[in-house]
């Protein structure tokens, strides 16, 4: 079943000029971009995004970091996209992420790991709603869908 995921190029990704590189990886994988927004996230929204981590020692710093400078919010759609994108992100800490993943290739940090990706269908639905109205998610067909996904009809 095709699903959607929220991918955020975090402040360090923008400051380090890696937004194009990161978006390009998802494009080349054949995932479909269905929404995008460049903005500075408020502390309130950042704290809602990360509400599952409330109370943890890194929570306050995490909220400050995500809201510190602009981010690129994107929504991608494809079969199994949530787990596909998580694999492409790599392990949470940059120094622990496999080479070939976004974090593994570009981050050597713990918290500054460049990119956020939803971790389940429930989180994806909740997180996308935080940043996008339903009319901002675009439903369309890619011209090369049959080549990307093997559809012949
Ligand atoms: P992920 O972003 O891989 O889903 P997460 O949801 O467990 O990871 O944590 C959210 C972010 O918080 C993560 O991208 C980096 C930061 N973080 C997680 N654990 C941390 C820790 N022990 N110390 C510092 N920052 C941490
Ligand atoms: Mg997470």
Cβ–ligand 1 distance for 95 under 6 Å, the answer no
Going by the DSSP 8-state scheme, the letter that residue 135 receives in this structure is G
Please tell me whether residue 7 adopts helix, strand or coil conformation: strand
Please name every residue paired with 14 in a beta bridge, in sequence order, or none if there are none. Answer: none
Going by the DSSP 8-state scheme, the letter that residue 151 receives in this structure is -
Q: Which ligand is nearest to the CA of 127?
A: 2
pLDDT score of 153: 56
pLDDT score of 152: 64
Domain ranges for the chain: 3-132
Is-contact 111 58, C-beta < 8 A?
yes
3-132 under CATH 3.30.70.141, yes or no: yes
The residue whose two tokens read 């000029």 is 17
Please tell me whether residue 21 adopts helix, strand or coil conformation: helix
The residue whose two tokens read 């709603």 is 129
pLDDT score of 89: 98
Q: What is the pLDDT of residues 93-131, one digit of tens each?
A: 999 999 999 999 999 999 999 999 999 999 999 999 999
pLDDT score of 40: 98
Instruction: Quote the pTM value.
Output: 0.97
Question: Residues of the chain whose pLDDT is less than 70?
Answer: 1, 152-153
Distance 86 CA to ligand 2 centre (A): 9
Which residue among 53, 65, 92 has the greatest number of ligand 1 atoms within 8 angstroms of its CB, and so is best to mutate? 92
| Range 57-86 burial, b when 16+ CB lie within 10 A, else e | eeeeebbebbbbebbbbbbbbbeebbebbb
Cβ–ligand 1 distance for 103 under 6 Å, the answer no
Please name every residue paired with 32 in a beta bridge, in sequence order, or none if there are none. Answer: 77
């Amino acid at each position: 079943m095709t699903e959607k995921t929220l991918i955020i190029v975090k402040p360090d990704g923008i400051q380090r000029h890696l937004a194009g590189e990161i978006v390009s990886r998802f494009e080349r994988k054949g995932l479909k971009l269905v929404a995008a927004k460049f903005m500075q996230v408020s502390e309130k929204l950042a704290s809602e995004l990360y509400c599952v981590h409330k109370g943890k020692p890194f929570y306050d710093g995490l909220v400050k970091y995500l809201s510190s400078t602009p981010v690129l919010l994107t929504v991608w759609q494809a079969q199994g996209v949530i787990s596909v994108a998580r694999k492409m992100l790599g392990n949470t800490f940059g120094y622990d992420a496999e080479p070939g993943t976004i974090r593994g290739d570009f981050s050597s940090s713990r918290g500054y790991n460049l990119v956020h990706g939803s971790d389940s269908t429930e989180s994806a639905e909740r997180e996308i709603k935080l940043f996008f109205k339903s009319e901002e998610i675009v439903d369309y067909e890619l011209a090369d869908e049959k080549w990307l996904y093997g559809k012949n009809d």
